[in-house]
Amino acid sequence: MNSLSKKQKLLLVDDDAIFVEIAKRTIEKTGAVESLKVFQDGEGAISFLREHQSDPDIIPDFIFLDINMPFMDGWQFLDEYANFVNSLSKKPEIYMVSSSVDDSDLRRAKEIPLVKDYIIKPVSLDSFKKILTNQS
Amino acid sequence: MEERPGQEEIKLDQNQDLYRVLIETSRELICLHDPEGIYLYVNPIIETLTGFKPGELLGRDPYDFIHPDDRQRIRTDSHNPAKEGRPTVATQYRFLKKDGDYVWFQTLTQPIRNKEGKVTHLNTTSRDVTDQVQLTESLQQEKKFSSIMSELAKVGAWESNIETGILYWSSEIYKILERDPSLGIDRDTVYQKYSYPEDLEKLKENNLRVYQKGETYSVEHRMVTETGRVIWVRTQGKPAYSDGRIVGVYGAMQDITLSKLVEEEIRLSEKKFSEAFHSSGNGIILLDRNGHFLELNQSFAKMLGYEPDELLFKSFQDITYPEDLNIGAEAFRKIINGERDSAQFAKRYLHKKGHIVWVFITGVAVRKDSGELMFIVSQIQDISRKRILENILREKNARLRSVGTHLKERISQLEEFNQIVSHNMRSPIGNISTLVKFLEEAETEKERVEYMDYLKTTSDQLLTTLNEIVEVIKIRQSPKVVSEEILFESVFSRVKAMFLGQILEYEAEIIADFSESPSIIYPQVYLESIFLNLLSNSLKYRCESPHPVIRFKTYWSHGNHILEVQDNGLGIDLNKHGDQIFKLHKRFHRNTEGRGLGLFMTKNQIESLGGEIHVESTPGQGSKFIIHLSKANEFTI
């Protein structure tokens, strides 16, 4: 495990405040994170990414994206994101994070090339570690 | 003229003058020719007969004037024998007149010989026989016509003389009875051989009446021909008189076998039609060009509950169900106008008792050879029972379809619940399980308190969601909530009162028009909830400017009872959110505090009663919710 040398920048898009708290603590424990930014819905995250698209120091390495959000949900986020992904100075790895075990959600996520993987909540410390240290 | 011995000794003085006068005043044409026929002398009558003067003929050849068709006959019958001194006969031929017409001459040619007996001249005497020839010709023509006519009409003449016992048949009668004319005929043979035994008495009686009373008769009877065929003839008889006494009978006989056969065929086919007409299980009617019944059968009358006589003075219009008067009227008009010959259609009649009889009609025009319409014959089939069966079938189909739709709805509901459980319940439960683990591993009291707080929040959230779901399940599972007749206005004014504060604050204009359908049979709680949610929604998602205007309206459309709610608020981007607008815990505006429950509940309430809810919206221009409170019953008969 020599890969902990590089600290990652994270973006968490989720409206569930409790989950966000839990995730923050879990991610902290991985010791692999430099910064963590949280948005309660897709639209805020999109604006943030658009605003900093040319700044590789701010564009995150990973995006953890919830599906079910009240205003702009995960799918809508991906639609918007696809519109400007090519102008990003750096391409984050996107993970869908959802409590949904619905087959149709899993299938849909797999069909989107922008999505690296689909993670079912609750997310364990190990899962976060694997992802953040590229051990998956 | 006969040759007279010592002709030259005649002194041609006074006598010569006398002969000249005789010849020159003769009404007969007298000419002298050389042996070849060239005119040497022609008497003056020629001018009266032909228009030529005698001098115009002298030196000419008579054949120039004789009709080409007659020349050869004259030469062989008359000229050549005379030239050779043989006896000749009078011949008739056509002679050209100066005006181009022909005159019929009868001419006798005689040779004149010299002493040595040599023929030196020819002498001809001619008479105008044009009138006779024409008379003969016309007689012959008459005879020919009469023969043709008797042959065509198969009519022959006969005569029976009572005194001499002689019977005469014209050739046509021989032909009709196939007897050889050369055998002749007598009365006994007629009676024994050619009379049809059963009709013989009738004929004898008739003839007796002619002899005794002088009456004429005309009778149809059968006869037997030479070859044994039985034929039908019409015989007419009249008395023949001589010196005022009846001496016999004469008359005509016509072969009418063919027309008898045709007559019989017509009689048979009429009988067949009449039987088919009266004993048919279907209604059959004959209509005139005004649609009046000329004739109708028992089945037709019975179908409509009438006696046949009651319908005879009516027309088809009188018994047609008023709404169906147009059906078939066009076809009827076309048949009358000769544009078509038949038509088929279904329509309704009115039974005498007032109920509807469904019928299927096949009408056919019957026209004269000239094309003029005689009548329309129509077959009428009672299809009421078929209609009822069809309707039952249709109803069953509709029910099946409705069950199918219902099942589809159920499946999509289940999917929706599945989603709710997955999204809205799994996540707090996941949080709880993680928090419990955190709690176990907590090192400080502060941490423990913090996790306890989170746990409490999450479990409250979970409980709320669970209660909401239970609520929806209750709605879904007991669609038989009590319905009552309620006035939209009364429920609406109550709901409006609840929002009075907001309405005044936002200076909102609320317009409600329930005039098109003021009331509905519906669960009051649901209607109240629907009004409440839609009004609250419109107020919540209002625009800052202009002032909110919210319209409520009820009406009927295609059998659906509809409630429409329209606002001029923020609107929703349906491209983005179209499929989610009625889902649990969805919100479409960031700066409002909606929980995404109202429309979800509303939809469930509406659907649980078989209704539907749709939304039309443009961001910035407002939304319109269209609610089918009740859907048209698709299997009405």
pLDDT digits (tens, 9 = 90+) for A24-53: 999 988 888 888 999 988 888 999 999 999
Encoded tokens for B182: 């050369």
Are B431 and A19 a contacting pair at CB < 8 A?
A: yes
Nearest by CB to residue A18, choosing from B457, B576, B596, is B457
Nearest by CB to residue A70, choosing from B428, B429, B596, is B596
pLDDT category of residue B94 using cuts at 50, 70 and 90: very high
Q: How do residues B566-608 score in pLDDT, each as one tens digit?
A: 999 888 877 766 667 777 766 666 555 556 678 888 888 888 8
Q: Give me the pLDDT at residue B591, please.
A: 57
**DSSP H or E segment with residue B286:** strand B283-287
**Better pLDDT: B475 or A3:** B475
Highest mean pLDDT, choosing among B95-109, B201-215, B465-479: B95-109
Q: Which one-letter DSSP state was computed for residue B182?
A: G
| C-alpha distance from B423 to closest chain A C-alpha (Å) | 5
Say if residues B190 and B221 touch (Cβ distance below 8 Å).
Answer: no
Encoded tokens for A38: 């949280």
CA gap A120, A129 in Å, rounded: 15
Mean pLDDT, residues B503-514:
92
Q: Give me the pLDDT at residue A60, please.
A: 93
Question: In chain B, which residue's Cα lies nearest the Cα of A100?
Answer: B422
Q: How do residues B234-277 score in pLDDT, each as one tens digit?
A: 999 999 888 888 888 999 999 999 888 888 888 888 888 888 88
- What would you report as the CA-atom Rg of chain A, rounded to the nearest whole angstrom? 14
| Owner of token pair 């897709």 | A42
Nearest by CB to residue A70, choosing from B422, B454, B586, is B586
B258-261 long-range contacts, Cβ below 8 Å, gap at least 24? B260/B220, B260/B232
Say if residues B233 and B256 touch (Cβ distance below 8 Å).
Answer: yes
Q: Give me the pLDDT at residue B594, please.
A: 57
For residue B354, which of B393, B305, B390 has the smallest C-alpha distance? Answer: B305
| C-alpha distance from A122 to closest chain B C-alpha (Å) | 5
Say if residues B626 and B602 touch (Cβ distance below 8 Å).
Answer: no
**Better pLDDT: B490 or B423:** B490
- What would you report as the CA-atom Rg of chain B, rounded to the nearest whole angstrom? 60
Are B590 and A122 a contacting pair at CB < 8 A?
A: no
Q: Does B458 touch chain A (CB under 8 A)?
A: yes
Q: Exposed e or buried b for every residue in B359-390, given b needs 16+ CB within 10 A? A: bbbebebeeeeeeebebbbbbbbbbbeebeee
Say if residues B489 and B452 touch (Cβ distance below 8 Å).
Answer: no
Q: Give me the pLDDT at residue B583, please.
A: 73
Are A102 and B418 a contacting pair at CB < 8 A?
A: yes
Worst-scoring range by mean pLDDT, B140-149, B351-360, B413-422?
A: B413-422
CA gap B526, B604 in Å, rounded: 10
Size (chain B), residues: 637
SS3 A124: coil
The ipTM is 0.86
Strands lying side by side in the sheet with B293-296: B293-296, B283-287, B373-382, B356-367, B342-350
